[in-house]
Structure 1
């Protein structure tokens, strides 16, 4: 086992001084250069050079061969992801393309690395567990293939803009697997189960598939590892029943259109008392007639008169929960945005974004004689004062 551990920890790319993405040609060049530099004939009596030469030769024997290099890369990827630390043991069925070292001229059986005991499974798991987990996309790793939880559920809701911004609670009806109320989810009248004799309670059975030992969920117990001897009449021993239930979903403040809200444990019930899956609520938000938003900032455009912009004044502006008065400084141009701190969309921290108020001048379509006369007087006063609205405008250059 010590020799196997030493092999696993070797870095063949590092020994040759190349990257893991190096081409076959670069690997060959690196090997030839290092082999010449460290050959015993060129360095008589130099033990360090001799050891370097052996490491270089061993490395090239592996990553210089395309098939062996692929196997080596896959193994190192498993080790880097923690696979080797969790799976161990001694012995094993052979792995095609055994790695031969230059120093000992012995073959290393990769099956030994992953372990075997009584048919290929050590107490801590083996090669079948690794590939069973890999090919089943997480459908059962480690000691068994037992379903660990119920299925996740996704549903959709549509909220008004202000509901999404402020947060709300909304009832949602779901139809799916729920715990059986008769047997309390165990599937058994008495609440007791016995280990499955087909899989010895592990939840999976092993199959020989080429060079690998593969695992699949046990068909007899459905991967649970247990057999219900006295099935519940209501759920037929599954521990779940199909029914419609209503739950109240709390939508936090500030959700945006398309966001998914996760409710842990509110999905479908797991079989025979295993935990429920999660509920994911996809939120759709209707546009608002008044507000838009950018991040946590709320945006609103407010119509104002020419006189309010020139002379200044105070305008009343809507907010999510009422109204606020905003001061418009004298001489404010149309299109300017004024910021009101803390009156935007609430944040999880308890604070809120800002309210961005854009003032936009509204021109009257009709004026009576008095207003028209006053406006003409003002226009003349502008000229007398030398005011030219197009002064400095690029279009006049």
Structure 2
């Protein structure tokens, strides 16, 4: 999302926190990759997720509104140097860079170069002893925050785990995925961003998670949903059949006379204590043999019924 995060959510800068959250949820309900595989919808969802991640943080939102960071959370470059500011027409300190005499500019000077540099006056910033340049040892600035997208599978998100990422400097870093992590969630890695200057600390790295669809499991909040195929005899007679869960297979009791579409619940088998919902699907054998055909013909003579009349 290189543009305006408000536009990605269909909002303006006057939007309240509640309106930002509501807009993100609305987009997630229509454009989430699990619900809408259209590539354009996926891109809209990713843009909305990144926008929500930035704007839900009050400090990040303030800095964006103030023009300090861009829509990706990256620091914006200064458009004008402090030397240019000092030399501007009408500035009474244009000749000796006397920032200490202006109460407004002295605060900026303190923050960027340290109080020691202000105490040195022109020599600290560009005096004769400095050869026209400022004392870099007195310049302190925090490193840039970095933002990344990290794709993980549904089981890792549900159960938690570890993965490795490669940082821009080429180093590897092991990242812990918290149990129950959600799509669009951001993980903060303190001190893993850009290097600082002087005594300024390193910035942070922010990982926005994208949870990939799973062929077996579907997640809604803390609940898990699956479709479980069963045979004709299991549907008629009932019995115990293995059913997959995010923590491994369990034996599920099928009641006699089960039909396609019937839902069974496994309590506590979802995410963080949620439930797993199992929808049954009766599947015919690959081929109907003579025994099954003969049995059904005889059964239909005395037990025939029309399920469409009950629909």
TM range (shorter): 0.5 to 0.7
Counterpart CA distance in 2 for 1:170 and 1:344 is 22
- 1:363 lines up with 2:284 in the alignment: yes
- 1:376 lines up with 2:304 in the alignment: no
Aligned positions of 1:42-61 closer than 5 A = none
Partner in structure 1 of residue 221 of structure 2: 295
Q: Secondary structure at the match of 2:249?
A: strand
Counterpart CA distance in 2 for 1:313 and 1:381 is 26
Q: Secondary structure at the match of 1:391?
A: helix
Q: Secondary structure at the match of 1:319?
A: coil
Shift of 1:330: 2.0
Shift of 1:276: 1.8
Shift of 1:272: 1.2
Shift of 1:262: 1.3
- 1:144 lines up with 2:111 in the alignment: yes
Counterpart CA distance in 1 for 2:109 and 2:216 is 55
Shift of 1:246: 2.1
Partner of residue 182 from structure 2, selected from 251, 256, 263: 256
Shift of 1:245: 2.4
Counterpart CA distance in 2 for 1:365 and 1:171 is 44
Counterpart CA distance in 2 for 1:248 and 1:273 is 26
Counterpart CA distance in 1 for 2:166 and 2:146 is 12
Counterpart CA distance in 2 for 1:258 and 1:171 is 19
Shift of 1:145: 4.5
Q: Secondary structure at the match of 2:292?
A: helix
- The number of residue pairs the alignment matches comes to 186
Counterpart CA distance in 2 for 1:299 and 1:245 is 38
Higher helix share: 2
- 1:391 lines up with 2:286 in the alignment: no
Q: Is 2:226–2:278's contact at 8 Å kept on the other side of the alignment?
A: yes
Counterpart CA distance in 1 for 2:207 and 2:285 is 47
Partner in structure 2 of residue 161 of structure 1: 154
Shift of 1:150: 1.4
Counterpart CA distance in 2 for 1:167 and 1:334 is 33
Shift of 1:297: 1.3
Q: Secondary structure at the match of 1:283?
A: strand
Shift of 1:141: 7.5
Aligned positions of 1:1-397 closer than 5 A = 121=103, 128=104, 144-145=111-112, 149-175=142-168, 243-345=169-271, 347=272, 352-383=273-304, 387-393=305-311
Counterpart CA distance in 2 for 1:367 and 1:343 is 36
Q: Deviation string for 1:88-124 (max 9, x for gaps)?
A: xxxxxxxxxxxxxxxxxxxxxxxxxxxxxx9563xxx
Shift of 1:247: 1.7
Mark the runs of 5 or more structure 2 residues left unpaired by the alignment: 1-99, 114-139
Counterpart CA distance in 2 for 1:369 and 1:306 is 16
TM-score, normalised by the number of residues in structure 1: 0.42
Q: Deviation string for 1:236-286 (max 9, x for gaps)?
A: xxxxxxx43222111112223333211122212221122221111122333
Counterpart CA distance in 2 for 1:314 and 1:378 is 25
Q: Deviation string for 1:165-219 (max 9, x for gaps)?
A: 21121122213xxxxxxxxxxxxxxxxxxxxxxxxxxxxxxxxxxxxxxxxxxxx
Q: Is 2:141–2:198's contact at 8 Å kept on the other side of the alignment?
A: no
Shift of 1:160: 2.4
Mark the runs of 5 or more structure 1 residues left unpaired by the alignment: 1-117, 122-127, 133-139, 176-242
Q: Is 2:188–2:206's contact at 8 Å kept on the other side of the alignment?
A: yes
TM-score, normalised by the number of residues in structure 2: 0.53
Q: Secondary structure at the match of 1:331?
A: coil
Structure number with bigger Rg? 1
Structure with the bigger RCO (C-alpha within 8 Å, sep 6+) is 1
